[in-house]
Amino acid sequence: MGRPRLTIVTPSFNQGEFLEETIKSVLDQEYENLEYIVVDGGSTDRSVSIIKKYSDRLAHWVSEPDEGQYHAINKGFARATGEIMAWLNSDDKYLPWTLSVVADIFSAFPEVEWLTSVHPLQWNSHGQAVAVDFTGALSRHSFLQGNNFPVEGSIGRRWIQQESTFWRRSLWERAGGRLDQSLAMAADFSFSARVSRTCSSSCHFMRAERIAARPR
């Protein structure tokens, strides 16, 4: 039995400073069943030349004006065929083992529909790992009760790190199959809320030790 098809979408706009490192963090893992889509918003820096450099290894790419990050992500996912889905912003990156760990977990635990990391990693502007956080456990029930919000003494724990979050296509479709573009900064949070509301008691969330990605 082959490994599951993973779809990763990277939205980008004028992120030429970081974009190549992001793309390489995905492609250099050489995951054998990868569908990688890059959606650029019509950048005027060197982003397009960077994308073209890797175009033969991309499932699809486009550079054209769009309505912002979440619109770009929706455009990418509209083309997705993977069983497992995620997006990685153009100034973030994965660790070398990320996709293999994700595939192994989803293959070994078919009941798991949503997966994220317990230990997010932080990069500096040079792409060097400088810190490892701990976010603790969080169930869909506690999420809906607001337990992911910082409270006195919590030090902001139990937040969901979007860069390290993956889900099954079936869950994406049940939760509406798109991000809410009307939310300027919180469509990822809105998606997590919809996922939590959509899931039945048989829907399993998992937090793993070794999935790591992080914004700079």
Give the angle 203-204-208 at the CA atoms, nearest 5°: 160
Distance CA 99, CA 7 (A): 10
Task: Name the residue among 56, 42, 59 with its Cα closest to residue 8.
Answer: 59
The string of pLDDT tens digits covering residues 106-116 is 999 998 998 88
Residue 216 near residue 18, CB atoms below 8 Å: yes
- The pLDDT, as a whole number, for residue 195 is 86
The string of pLDDT tens digits covering residues 5-52 is 999 999 999 999 999 999 999 999 999 999 999 999 999 999 999 999
Residue 90 near residue 18, CB atoms below 8 Å: yes
Residue 4 near residue 33, CB atoms below 8 Å: yes
User: What is the pLDDT confidence band of residue 186, given thresholds at 50, 70 and 90?
Assistant: confident
The string of pLDDT tens digits covering residues 88-144 is 999 999 989 999 999 999 999 998 998 887 766 676 777 777 777 666 656 666 666
Distance CA 124, CA 135 (A): 19
Task: Name the residue among 160, 21, 192 with its Cα closest to residue 93.
Answer: 21
Decide: helix, strand or coil at residue 2: coil
Strands 84-87 and 166-168: antiparallel
